[in-house]
Chains A and B, each alone.
Chain A
Amino acid sequence: MLQIISPMMRIIEIPMQYAQRKFGIQRLAWIFLLPNLILFGLFAFLPVILNFVYALTGGDNVLLNARPFVGGANFDTLTACASYFDPNSCERDFFWRAIHNTILFVTLQVGFMVGFSLLTALILNRDIRARGFFRSVFFFPVLLSPVVVALIWKWILQRNGVLNAGLDAMGLETHVWLLDRTWAFAWSVFLTVWAHMGFYTLILLAGLQAIPRDVYEAALMDRASPWRAFTKITMPLLAPTMLVVLVLALIRSVQTFDEIFAFTGGGPGSATTFIIQYIYQTGFAGAPRLFGLASAASIMLAFVLVVLTGIQLWINRRNVDG
């Protein structure tokens, strides 16, 4: 092996020695990083810069040289509201409807997601029969494509779907679930919780299993009730994991698009239109395609996501620092 590697090293050695002499050992690191930097710059930094350029220009032309500079007009248009609590009073009412929907969705979905994930993790952490099977069952939806998840539930909930057939068989009143704004929203929350809960359950399960058993044994010897053990031992020791789950679920929830787009198309009306769908429709599916407005909306969303990511990083650092 050494016989093969040594001649190869000698081949590399010559240009490396030259590069080191030419640029110095400090700058040599940049030479190694260059290929990665080029790729990252091309596919990450450049789109971000372009996004800002589009946000500051107007018109419906995709070519930058044909787009007039409008400054902050796109941001002004999006934020022009008599009252931010009433989308009807806003110049871009669909944007504010999407914001309102997203805030309500994130609040409910993250709450249910963390709650149910914790409950499931606690149950699966106990010594129950077929524990391995149940762990797989709860994780299975995570493996499904978002479109498959949406179609499965669409078929269940449609007018002649499985749910209505079941209700009908039991003599109960059927309902066209996805034509009702409230029900469509509620089912959207349920669907996303069902689809992603397994992932967060797995993280919490790992957190629960990292809690030393002897702490519980000591509590048992002190005759602590199960509820007291849960509130005074489990929850405090699980708190760092819970925070990570919370922030991850929050970021993912804000970014929700594919499942709901395939599930309800954002309807009925705009009842399940969230911010990402608004950006997609404004920039790509509308007529005319308002790239500037879509870019401005995505920058505003990015700002929120950066804040959420900052919180996550701060929490991680605090955990690492103890």
Chain B
Amino acid sequence: MKKTITTTAALAALLVGGTALVPASASAQEIRFMCSSDGNECDSIEGILAGFEAANPGVDVIVDVVPYQAILENLPIQLAAGSGPDIAKVTDLGGLHEFYLDLSPYVDRDYWEESFGGTLDWYRGGPDDDGIYGMHSQLTITGAYINRTLFDQAGVEVPGPEATWDEWAEASRAVAEATGTAFPMAMDRSGHRIAGPAISYGASLFNADGEPILVDDGFTAYVQQFVDWHEDGTMARDVWAGQGGASYQDAGQEFLNGDLVYYYSGSWQVGRFDEQIGDFFDWQVVGSPCGTGGCTGMPGGAGVVGFNDTEHPEIVAAIIDYMAQQENYARLTAETRNIPAHAAVASSGVEYQDASGPAAAALNAWAAQVPSISPVAFQYQGYAGNRAMFNITVQRVTQAIVGELSVEEAMERAKTDLAEVMAETTQ
């Protein structure tokens, strides 16, 4: 690989040497990396890639840091129009599959299969596809945080690891009432976030043939409970009812302000909470509450992929492969305080840089949640059309919360929406 790059660079240098008017910088093979960050991930990637550039003179990797919204909304259109970057950090893992560069001809398949195992499927086109498309850089798990200080002040016992949603709701209400806290519970406005609790309530999301159904009795049961909690004030109404469309909204600020007892979000908030809460109050990861279908959160996260329109597929593959090497991956995980998706990095443990006691405890607590993730949750995360299902969920559940539709009507609409989406995407 290195030889190929060196040869290409040498050829480019020769061409430049023969063309006096072409500036020296034109010899560099420019690779554009579109990156969005909810922490320091892009900075960390840039640091790691400096090592790649040093080892591969002539390759210039430019990390374009963009808002997350640009990755969600602009990148797919750029890719469809053939004007996308060479590499990007994406979260719609299966949804952009058609644009991915298959890295398998350029990388050590055994190493990748051994290191990233199941997460490779999230980037694939289906069960018959054995290509290698993406390095899962940020494994996330959805679940809950509590404001431990409020529990202590209220003298309410923190429910145990097997506690149900009802028990958590009851405890949170008791704490909010005793301490005068504005909101007992809140959940991010996201179809991904509500999926874990719905699976815990027995939602199967797919039929026996693996086709998406979204709505079933388990799903409806959780949505009904969720809507009821909004009506009785258990859930912070501002998060879901305060927005239109399928826009994302989190409740992180309310938690940071100490206005929230129980916050259902995910592992990616650890860095933010560690940095901004400090010793303002004690916080704790409590994972996902239980229901008849288990105690599951949703896996997810972001990954680094190359695109098949790139003019430099070998270099793109080499860059991603470089990031996937154990020492580089461990560095990325430590610097960004994420849960590793790399088997060897996970098993050897990560020394999180500058992480405080609570942050280290939180990261370990999240890592301990991985075994309890339901297979349905993995299937949902790996399904290429999951973003459409997330959007349908957010829009229809919000309508039920604000009273535009009853829960039954909202669920019927969700079924119809899904059928329409399936019809459109198969055209």
Q: Could you tell me if A265 and B237 are in contact, using CB atoms closer than 8 angstroms?
A: no
Q: Could you tell me if B387 and A267 are in contact, using CB atoms closer than 8 angstroms?
A: no
For B391, the chain A residues whose CB sits under 8 A away are 286-287
With an 8 A cutoff between CB atoms, is A192 at the interface? no
> Contacting A289 at CB < 8 Å: which of B76, B385, B398, B399?
B76
For A70, the chain B residues whose CB sits under 8 A away are 427
For A267, the chain B residues whose CB sits under 8 A away are 241-245, 398, 402
> Contacting A285 at CB < 8 Å: which of B73, B92, B403?
B73
Q: Could you tell me if A271 and B402 are in contact, using CB atoms closer than 8 angstroms?
A: yes
Q: Could you tell me if A285 and B246 are in contact, using CB atoms closer than 8 angstroms?
A: yes
Q: How near does chain B come to A271, taking the closest CB pair, in angstroms?
A: 7
Contact pattern, A 275-308, Cβ under 8 Å of B = 1, otherwise 0: 0010001001111111000000000000000000
With an 8 A cutoff between CB atoms, is B302 at the interface? no
- Stretch in A56-64, A134-142, A210-218, A314-322 touching the partner: A56-64
With an 8 A cutoff between CB atoms, is A161 at the interface? no
Interface of B is mostly: helix
With A59-B427, A62-B77, A270-B404 as known contacts, state yes or no: A179 contacts B242, CB within 8 Å. Answer: yes
Q: Could you tell me if A179 and B241 are in contact, using CB atoms closer than 8 angstroms?
A: yes
Question: CA separation between A137 and B385, bound complex, in Å?
Answer: 51
For B300, the chain A residues whose CB sits under 8 A away are none
Q: Which of A31-86 contact B (CB under 8 A)?
A: 58-63, 68, 70
Q: Could you tell me if A59 and B425 are in contact, using CB atoms closer than 8 angstroms?
A: yes
Q: Which of B381-427 contact A (CB under 8 A)?
A: 385, 387-388, 390-391, 395, 398-399, 401-405, 409, 413, 421, 424-425, 427
With an 8 A cutoff between CB atoms, is A131 at the interface? no
Q: Which of B238-255 contact A (CB under 8 A)?
A: 238, 241-247
Contact count band on A: 35 or more
With an 8 A cutoff between CB atoms, is B21 at the interface? no
Question: CA separation between A70 and B424, bound complex, in Å?
Answer: 11
Q: Could you tell me if A269 and B421 are in contact, using CB atoms closer than 8 angstroms?
A: no
With an 8 A cutoff between CB atoms, is A119 at the interface? no
Question: CA separation between A6 and B76, bound complex, in Å?
Answer: 56
For B398, the chain A residues whose CB sits under 8 A away are 267-269
For A281, the chain B residues whose CB sits under 8 A away are 245-246
5 contacts between A and B (CB under 8 A): A88-B409, A264-B244, A266-B244, A268-B242, A288-B424
11 other contacts beyond A88-B409, A267-B398, with CB at 8 A cut-off? Answer: A58-B427, A59-B425, A70-B427, A179-B238, A267-B242, A267-B402, A269-B244, A269-B404, A281-B246, A285-B245, A287-B387
B residues at A contact (CB < 8 Å): 73, 76-77, 80-81, 92, 95, 237-238, 241-247, 385, 387-388, 390-391, 395, 398-399, 401-405, 409, 413, 421, 424-425, 427
The list of the 4 closest CB pairs from A to B, nearest first, reads: A266-B244, A267-B244, A269-B402, A62-B80
